[in-house]
Amino acid sequence: MNWRETLRTAFEAVHAHRMRSILTMLGIVIGIASVILTVGFGQGARQEVQDEINSLGSNLLIVSPGSSTDDSGTRGGFGSATTLTLADANAIADSDVVPDAVSVAPVTSTSLSVVAGDTNWTTTVMGTTTSWLDVRTRTLASGRWFTDSEAENGSKVVVLGSDTASELFSGQSPVGQTVTINGTTLTVIGVLDSSGSSSSGTSEDDMAVMPLSTEAALTGSTSSAVSTIYVECADADVLSAAYQEIDTLLLTRHDIASGDDADFSIATQDSLVDTASSTNETLSVLLTGVAAISLLVGGIGVMNIMLVSVTERIREIGLRKALGATPRVIGQQFLAEASILGLAGGLIGIGIGVIGSWILPLIIDQPVTLSFLATAGALGVSLALGVGFGVYPASRAARLTPIDALRSE
């Protein structure tokens, strides 16, 4: 008997016991679908975290002031001091001093009430430079960004975050309309696209952004202190070099001998990416372990059913041997049946996994990214399970002697 005839006989045997075959494949189906969805959840979560981190800015370094201490000795948290200035930002922007910095955007911020007609909303009012939009890799949903001329002249213009615009104008276009902040009337010239992320618990879509000079006049501030300096580097490979250049520069400018006494901090995206990736990998390994157990149970189910099949078909095996079938042919048939069950279970599991990857994001608002490697690997594993757990039943059937098989009741 050739392999074609062996496979035909195996398909007929599987089809003849349809319900038993379906129940046998169920464990493999669940396991394969679990593997695909687990890997998909892990990759989707990793991509979502990566997108949120990238929304903070491409190849970004964030320089923040240190902590402050009041007269009573109470120390504030990081960022509470006023140790960073516009002069620091200008020094970092000097390509001779920090050659790996492409662009720099100093920011001042405060929380103020914004009034539009009869509506008011308290938001973060930020003063910055024209480079902020590129440094933070933000885009505009409508309108425009303020110009260098407007920044130099302290023009009374403002760009709103998408959430801020929605709260103040209830779906109407805010571009060209006016808002009042601290008694000053400003013209809305643009609305930012939603970033879909937050930084340090503050929504990146709830803000009002204007030139530094405009924000200073609006708040009455005469200080040159800034709350944050965003630095965009040439690419990810020079983040570490830029970090060292900025650290050395600020220590020198602030007359600080040791980095342990620094009155500023520099954050990179590397630590965020590493932490997020580590968490996602741990979760993926845990869920994949659960899925692997399901596959193991499914494989044992295949072996169990095939052993039952051998017992039920002893007389058939004896008759075929009496008619000249060799032990090799008998073993091939049972091994082919187990392989068909494993492969069919894998294909059905992949189908369920693909359908689940389309439907689940609509239900739980969590992205699921299909992996070709995981899908191909799952199919290979299902076939291996069928072959691996079918070897013992096949060898047992092949070892039966014709006389003993025909004698059995």
Helices (H), 200-268: 212-219, 239-253
- Do residues 295 and 230 share a domain? no
- Do residues 400 and 311 share a domain? yes
Residue 343 domain flag: yes
Residue 33 domain flag: yes
**Model pLDDT, residue 353:** 87
- Spell 180-193 as b/e; 16+ CB within 10 A means b: ebbeeebebbbbbe
For residue 274, CA distances in Å to 9, 44, 49, 270, 314 come to 54, 16, 11, 6, 59
pTM given for the model: 0.59
Asked if 368 and 44 count as a contact pair (C-beta separation under 8 A), the reply is: yes
Predicted confidence (pLDDT) at residue 35 exceeds the cutoff of 90: no
Q: Find the angle CA(140)-CA(145)-CA(148) to the nearest 5 degrees.
A: 155
Beta strands (DSSP E) in 273-392 are none
**Model pLDDT, residue 37:** 83
- Do residues 402 and 286 share a domain? yes
Asked if 52 and 192 count as a contact pair (C-beta separation under 8 A), the reply is: no
- Do residues 135 and 196 share a domain? yes
- Do residues 181 and 293 share a domain? no
Task: Quick: pLDDT tens for 398-407.
Answer: 776 766 655 6
pLDDT band of residue 148 (cuts 50, 70, 90) is: very high
Q: What are phi and psi of 194, to 5 degrees?
A: -70, 135
Choosing from 207, 235, 263, the residue where a domain stops is 235
- Do residues 279 and 403 share a domain? yes
**Model pLDDT, residue 187:** 96
User: How many CB atoms sit inside 10 A of residue 1's CB?
Assistant: 16
**Model pLDDT, residue 167:** 93
Q: Which amino acid is at 378?
A: A
Distance between CA atoms of 108 and 243, rounded to whole angstroms?
22
**Model pLDDT, residue 188:** 96
> Regarding predicted confidence, which is higher, 289 or 124?
124
Distance between CA atoms of 184 and 218, rounded to whole angstroms?
7
Helices (H), 55-192: 86-92, 132-135, 148-153, 162-169
Q: Domains in the chain: how many in total?
A: 2
**Model pLDDT, residue 270:** 62
Task: Quick: pLDDT tens for 346-377.
Answer: 888 889 988 988 888 888 777 888 878 778 87
Residue 74 domain flag: no
Asked if 218 and 182 count as a contact pair (C-beta separation under 8 A), the reply is: yes
Task: Quick: pLDDT tens for 193-231.
Answer: 987 655 545 678 899 999 999 999 998 888 888 999 999
Distance between CA atoms of 32 and 48, rounded to whole angstroms?
24
Give the domain range for residue 344. Answer: 3-52+274-407
Residue 269 domain flag: no
- Do residues 207 and 282 share a domain? no
Beta strands (DSSP E) in 205-355 are 207-211, 228-233, 264-268
- Do residues 191 and 305 share a domain? no
Task: Quick: pLDDT tens for 282-328.
Answer: 766 776 677 677 667 777 777 777 777 776 666 777 777 777 777 77
Choosing from 186, 204, 235, the residue where a domain stops is 235
Strands 157-160 vs 184-192: parallel, antiparallel or unpaired: parallel
- Do residues 114 and 194 share a domain? yes
Choosing from 182, 207, 235, the residue where a domain stops is 235
Residue 258 domain flag: no
- Do residues 30 and 107 share a domain? no
Helix %, strand %, coil % of the chain (to 5): 55, 20, 25
Residue 250 domain flag: no
Distance between CA atoms of 66 and 76, rounded to whole angstroms?
9
For residue 302, CA distances in Å to 19, 32, 214, 353, 382 come to 13, 14, 74, 21, 11
Distance between CA atoms of 127 and 305, rounded to whole angstroms?
72
Residue 299 domain flag: yes
Task: Quick: pLDDT tens for 67-102.
Answer: 644 445 444 444 445 789 999 999 999 989 999 999
**Model pLDDT, residue 73:** 45
pLDDT > 90: percent of the chain: 30
Q: What is the mean pLDDT of residues 254-283?
A: 73
- Do residues 278 and 383 share a domain? yes
Q: Strand pairing partners for 126?
A: 109, 209
Task: Please name which of 27, 31, 23 lies closest in space to residue 353, comparing C-alpha atoms.
Answer: 31
- Do residues 323 and 391 share a domain? yes
Residue 62 domain flag: no
